[in-house]
Structure 1
């Protein structure tokens, strides 16, 4: 293999090695993250309180609950502030509304944040697929540059131009791969936030007894 194509292949292997290891641990061989792929959560993974009543599924019909869910689910809001909003909301409720309303809050947070998490996972898959396409294109470009460089009488300016194009494309690919590493953490971040918020609801209810 010519040196340019070899160098690009080394970059590809280095950037996709974590994905290869992750694929062995999941049912999806194309999953690019080290973190295990769990497309959807179950309520039991984040809620250890009493079973939620069927009425909790109507949370979106309650304006105050819907507004709270939107606020606390937003990751731009610090977790401590979100937890305070939950406690303040609980404190504002009449005693007879506490349990049913907080059940709606739990169901609402789960539905909202699990959907957001699934959306992120789908985006990661699309992003990774595009990376694989870019990797194949880079390998072809590298082979073409090596073939041009080895060609007798090749124009040095053309070789330099094509090499610069390849270097730029490789740099973009590398930056995208590094971004993917950070994005891979997002599903776990959402899951952990949901768990902490649900735990806050459970602790708040326990304190009211």
Structure 2
């Protein structure tokens, strides 16, 4: 069990030119509802690439902040909340210690890890630093998304308790590396394993199947 020290939400705001983003999130005071499409008061700007039932809640490990601070040079965003646009601020869980399909109780809600988070240009624009996406791919510090199995309510100070473990061969870090890190090209057998992960979101499984058919 690990304590969630902040639950953060945001609404789309001007981000770059005519583009908007909800990556700028702030802590919620008191209890907040968690439904199948995410946390009450949270939203996404790019509905093509974000949001939906398989990306309802975003978790980026707070454990990575110190390493980023060393690399970026004490960036002010890292002193505030949700620097990477995460909904849950938590220490003690990282990509190499959680699995696709792990289920967690948070307050009265039940969450399930559905996919790693694919990094995009918005992280680099937010921090004003190129090279962050490449570093995430190299280190597999990607974060992940949850789908909501049981809607409920939670607040800062609640614990995130793992109540069921997914396939132990497939940590979030290993799956992300297999599909995004050129240094970890998966074998055909590994791709077949990934395609068979029932709790991995369907779009990722479909992409893997297309690779197998190519």
TM-score of the two chains, using structure 2 as the length reference: 0.22
TM-score of the two chains, using structure 1 as the length reference: 0.22
Which protein has the bigger strand share?
Answer: 2
